[in-house]
Structure 1
Amino acid sequence: MGIYGALSTAVTGLTAQSFSLENISGNISNSQTIGFKRIDTDFVDLIPDTAQKRQTAGSVLAQSRSTNNLQGDVQGSSTETHMAINGDGFFVVEPSSGQSDGDTVFSGANYYSRRGDFELDKNGYLVNGSGYYLKGLPIDATTQNISGSVPQVLRITNAFLPAAGTSRINYELNLPQLPKTARYQESQAAGSELLNARDFLSLTPDQAATATGATVTGTDPASTIAMAGDTLDVTVGATTVNFTFNSGGGTVGNDIDLTDAASDTVDELLGTIQAQLQAAGATGATVAASGGVITITAGNTTDSVTITDNTTGSALTGFALADVTTDPTVSSTAALAARVDEIAADDVDEFLAQTISGGAITVYADNGAPANVQLRWAKVNSIDNGGAERWNLFVQTDGSATGTAPAWTRVGDDYQFSANGSPQPAIDNTDITGLTINGIDVGDIRLQHGANGLTQFADVNGTAEVTALSQNGYAAGEFISIAISDNGRVVAAYDNGQQLEVAQVVTANFNAVNQLKRLDGGVFAATSESGEPILDNGGGILGASLEASNTDISNEFTKLIITQQAYAAGTRIVSTADQMLQEALNMVR
């Protein structure tokens, strides 16, 4: 190669080290640039095509090597619209091409950046510090699902959020087995924890059928009212029991032996009939000889009593039961069976004394008007009282009611619980139709209890323990701010407390990420070598964060020293080659 070749090679070395110095200078200058990716320098030796035994080291070529795949440190930010990508990928951005009628016009081209210092501009666009506009996918306001698949420039509107009427209340609680109501705490008497329907209703007497004919007493022989071979069909509501009578055959189910020691008197016979009626489903039915007559009572005000009689007792023409008549008294069974549908304003104090609080929640009408829903629970029967563990739920529908106007209204059906504290049958939800609270039309509401949301367990305090109480409505809201969640959702906040996801930030990945073309402002353009972008909306975005430059100052200064020394060594080669040429020229003197 000779002296001239050595001189030329040294110059390429100087050029390469100058190129490296330029990259180092740019890296150090951008050590505080958000999302900056440093450029490293690769040196490639250029070997001349010569015979193997005449090969030389050759010249050198300096090339840039991108570090787009190396992440910088993620730092926290006090600005909620700032964001950083934790891992691979780039924000999809688009530059502005100008203004038209005061609004921004876009170029339609996609670029890619790790610079996440986005903030809202005057037109509601998210733009970063380099002037590039963020792109993403809109989210449907109703379903909160992503709408579309092609990224578009995101624009946040500051319009009012329309009101949403409440349609569901999530309501879960435990009801105490023994509610310690004010009335119970006063008396501690058995049954005083139950709602007394007589205090709130004008009850009509029980439905009953009464025997006619001769007077009977409970100690009379059973043959007084029935003979062997007779039949008697009794229907209470939807329950019908067919009785037959025998003499000496024994009592088996509904076939009753009139000479059996357990059924050979009028009282015993009537008691056996009553037991069979209750076992068949007429749980409130009673059969007794009282005041000289036989009365079969339904035990409530709704079920009728009918008889098909074919008995020929010695004292009566069979049971000789007349049409359904009215018992002159109201039994305790009837009072417990009765449902209190409304509580008049005059009875509110007594109602509060016989019930326990079930919590309160504010709901909203379709126009955003708020309504305070107060809930109270009344236990209306219990196993200890001879019935089932049964509750009713009441809502205060008119807090300003007076006189006989209704103030509280029962909602839903009976809530009945088994001995183990679980609902029997299971209750997943309760629908309230046309709810009106203090004149505000709330409409149809579903109380959502869930599979295990309602229980009745013993509670030492005797109060209802509410474990979940929330609703899905809200009033109209004014836009306050925007933020980025850690799953990449753009979230708008309103002064009514609502936060609405309005867009999804997408990221773009590349198979050959270091083959992207670098442009001004920390953005990159796709090239044929990088491949097409692979869009992803799976998250990986950190809100209120920024990615710092991946430049390491100490490493760059180390490379600076090496470059400086290499450059100095290259100059020595030039000096040496110059001296050698001078010596060669001096030979001709």
Structure 2
Amino acid sequence: MGIYGALSSAVTGLRAQAHALENISGNIANSQTTGYKRIETDFLDLIPDAPIKRQVPGAVLAQSRGTNNIQGDIKTVSNETFIALNSNGFFVVEPKVGQSDGNSVFAGTNFYTRRGDFEIDKDGMLVNGAGYYLKGLPIDTTTGNISGSVPEVIKLSNAFLPAQVTNRINYQSNLPQLPKTTAYNATVYNSELINAADYAGYSGASTSASMTGAALTGANAATTVFTVGDTVSLTVNGTAVKFEFTNGGAAAAGNQAIDVVTGAPTITATLASIQASLRSAGGPAASTAVVDINGGNLRINLGTDYHAQFTVTGGTGTTLAALGLTAAATSSAPTRPSIGTVAASDDALFKSNSVAGGAITVYASNGAPANVQMRWAKVDSAASGGKDTWNLFYMSDSAATGSSPMWTNAGQTYTFGADGSLVAPGVASTTLSNLSVNGVSIGDVELKHQTNGVSQFADVNGTVNVSTLNQNGYGAGEFVSVAINDSGRVVATYSNGERIDMAQVVTAQFNAINQLKRMDGGVFSASSESGEAILDLSGQGILGGALEASNTDISDEFTKLIVTQQAYAAGTRIVTAADKMLQEALNMIR
């Protein structure tokens, strides 16, 4: 080989450096191209076959090497449809090859790019600066779940967003153990509770614990019934009261003295004295007790207390028999009907007996809004011998007048234990049947509390603390804008404030990322060396409102340019030297 071999090697060197120069030139030219991946040059030495001691370096071959695995700088931009990838993945895109009947026609082949400067074109599709259209998977706007598995060109619609009727209200709150309503008075027993008997349509419906005795004539002398020295004992909600009938004297310690001789009192007057003593000594449940003659018979009841019972626990037989009472007899059970609706005429009273529970706007099937105002009313309490029980009301007709219903009971009883949680099995949800507010018909709406979503813990303010209150309906809206978020979701925003996920951007990974074939516009196609694309539907690594810059480093390219230039110059010197040596060899025969 000799001189000719050296000349040949020098020429391959010149070719290799020229190839390197071409790559450097392209890298510098694309230093500002979005998502561009520079091309490095690798040199491969070609060794001719020869004995070991006769081997020579031989020629050189230049080949290109991709840097697809090297990320360029990511910069933030104001355009919400621009996206970048903080991973080794690629966006899946497709070129448009024409139009048919006004519709875009696509090639049907997937290409891959890091160029994420996507904008909406006239047809509502996302296309980048190189003319490639972004692909993804559609999302079911009802469930929010991805539908399908084959990526398709994302196409957005600027049509009105249809209204969605509200069928669920998520509501969680803590109710105060002691609601400090407007009517609440710390010195008045059960003043924190709502009393059905005070409301139109329920007047007289509530019944307190009561007991009926013998027929009595109120004008007769007390001594015809009550015997001096006899006793009668009542126990009201755990508080014992023992009446002792006297002749102007004092009663035994702990007894209530009832004088049935001095002044010759009548039976009616004596019953009034018993009533006064019962109210003062019988505890809170007896504070409004009544002891009188009703319909000709003895009557004992607890007045306006609709929670406690009382029992005849003892007494002297003579007086008990005359009163028609029997020791160990128990009064009738109190009843307390639920208030189904509150008339407009009782609106002020109702608000004074309840606490605000929040308000939310819901939507009918045609998008008509309706404001649901909620109030909580405590209907029973453990302190009065019952259980801590609440009812929820909502305003069904704010324009109602007179006896027309203004507030409606939700129809669910909330009963709490001593620990402040709902008594098993609890109330995870309830249904507002045929919900209608101010003439706007919504239909059945699930009021969802989740497990332990409604509690009753002590609150010094005595108010309802609402922690969750939202609903799933909305009115019709006009398309306003679109953005791609950091999860790769294409989100459309509408004039009604709704943000609807329309599509999921698909990314692709490759096992041999640097073996992809380059094409115009910063796109790549899969090759046999790269392997098939591995699609990712999670949106991992996607950054919204960002762009990836070229990974070209100008200073590094200039350094390589100097080295390449000097190597090329050195190669030309080899050619010159070989030429001179050949010239000398030819001159030997002259």
Shorter-chain TM-score tier = 0.7 to 0.9
Distance change >3 Å, CA 217–CA 409, structure 1 → 2: farther
> Match for residue 504 of structure 1?
504
Deviation at 1:10? Answer: 0.9
Question: Are 1:566 and 2:540 matched, yes or no?
Answer: no
> Match for residue 25 of structure 1?
25
Residues 545-566 of structure 1, C-alpha deviations (whole Å, 9 max, x = no match):
1111111222211111111111
Question: Are 1:537 and 2:537 matched, yes or no?
Answer: yes
Distance 1:214 1:80 in 2: 89
> Match for residue 547 of structure 1?
548
Deviates more, 1:95-104 or 1:212-221: 212-221
> Match for residue 445 of structure 2?
445
- TM-score after normalising by structure 1: 0.79
Question: Are 1:357 and 2:356 matched, yes or no?
Answer: yes
Distance change >3 Å, CA 400–CA 213, structure 1 → 2: closer
Distance change >3 Å, CA 218–CA 107, structure 1 → 2: farther
- TM-score after normalising by structure 2: 0.79
Partner of 2:434: helix, strand, or coil?
strand
Deviation at 1:213? Answer: 7.7
Distance 2:400 2:83 in 1: 55
In the TM superposition, what are the counterparts of 1:384-533 in structure 2 within 5 Å?
Answer: 384-425=383-424, 426-533=426-533
> Match for residue 198 of structure 2?
199
- Partner letter of residue 161 of structure 1? L
Residues 248-267 of structure 1, C-alpha deviations (whole Å, 9 max, x = no match):
xxxxxxxxxxxxxxxxxxxx
Deviation at 1:397? Answer: 0.7
Distance 1:482 1:194 in 2: 52
Distance 1:550 1:219 in 2: 111
CA contact (8 A) 1:217 1:289 kept: no
Partner of 1:21: helix, strand, or coil?
helix
Distance change >3 Å, CA 108–CA 299, structure 1 → 2: farther
- Partner letter of residue 371 of structure 1? A
Deviation at 1:375? Answer: 0.8
Partner of 1:108: helix, strand, or coil?
coil
Deviates more, 1:382-391 or 1:148-157: 382-391
> Match for residue 275 of structure 2?
none
Question: Are 1:587 and 2:588 matched, yes or no?
Answer: yes
> Match for residue 175 of structure 1?
175
In the TM superposition, what are the counterparts of 1:97-176 in structure 2 within 5 Å?
Answer: 97-176=97-176
Distance 2:550 2:187 in 1: 75
- Partner letter of residue 18 of structure 2? S
Distance 2:582 2:106 in 1: 62
CA contact (8 A) 1:218 1:289 kept: no
- Partner letter of residue 476 of structure 2? A
Residues 198-237 of structure 1, C-alpha deviations (whole Å, 9 max, x = no match):
2212224749785678999798999xxxxxxxxxxxxxxx
Distance change >3 Å, CA 24–CA 217, structure 1 → 2: farther
Deviation at 1:441? Answer: 0.5
> Match for residue 88 of structure 1?
88
> Match for residue 221 of structure 2?
none
Distance change >3 Å, CA 514–CA 218, structure 1 → 2: farther
Deviation at 1:48? Answer: 1.4
Deviation at 1:190? Answer: 3.1
Partner of 1:384: helix, strand, or coil?
helix
Distance 1:499 1:217 in 2: 81
Distance 1:413 1:541 in 2: 47
Distance 1:508 1:531 in 2: 11
Partner of 2:95: helix, strand, or coil?
strand
Deviation at 1:386? Answer: 2.9
- Partner letter of residue 2 of structure 1? G
Distance change >3 Å, CA 85–CA 221, structure 1 → 2: farther
Distance change >3 Å, CA 500–CA 297, structure 1 → 2: same
Distance 1:214 1:199 in 2: 31
Partner of 1:184: helix, strand, or coil?
coil
Deviation at 1:293? Answer: 5.0
Gaps of 5+ in 2: 218-223, 231-284, 307-316, 327-331
Partner of 2:455: helix, strand, or coil?
strand
Deviation at 1:429? Answer: 1.6
CA contact (8 A) 2:117 2:128 kept: yes
Gaps of 5+ in 1: 223-282, 303-312, 322-326
Distance 2:358 2:205 in 1: 34
Deviation at 1:194? Answer: 1.8
- Partner letter of residue 571 of structure 2? G
Distance 1:19 1:183 in 2: 92
Distance 2:533 2:489 in 1: 21
- Partner letter of residue 417 of structure 2? S
- Partner letter of residue 197 of structure 2? R
Deviation at 1:469? Answer: 1.0
> Match for residue 66 of structure 1?
66
Distance 2:27 2:291 in 1: 107
CA contact (8 A) 1:206 1:297 kept: no
Partner of 1:24: helix, strand, or coil?
helix
CA contact (8 A) 2:290 2:302 kept: no
> Match for residue 36 of structure 1?
36
Distance 1:81 1:526 in 2: 26
Deviates more, 1:192-201 or 1:352-361: 192-201
CA contact (8 A) 1:47 1:58 kept: yes
CA contact (8 A) 1:345 1:405 kept: yes
Deviates more, 1:158-167 or 1:97-106: 97-106
- Partner letter of residue 475 of structure 2? A
CA contact (8 A) 2:139 2:503 kept: yes
Distance 1:128 1:389 in 2: 64
> Match for residue 244 of structure 2?
none
- Partner letter of residue 419 of structure 1? A
- Partner letter of residue 7 of structure 1? L
CA contact (8 A) 2:342 2:406 kept: yes
Same amino acid, percent of matched pairs: 60
Partner of 2:557: helix, strand, or coil?
helix
Distance 2:10 2:206 in 1: 120
Question: Are 1:184 and 2:184 matched, yes or no?
Answer: yes
Deviation at 1:102? Answer: 2.4
Distance 1:351 1:289 in 2: 30
Distance 1:352 1:38 in 2: 73
Deviation at 1:295? Answer: 7.0
CA-based RMSD of the aligned residues comes to 3.5
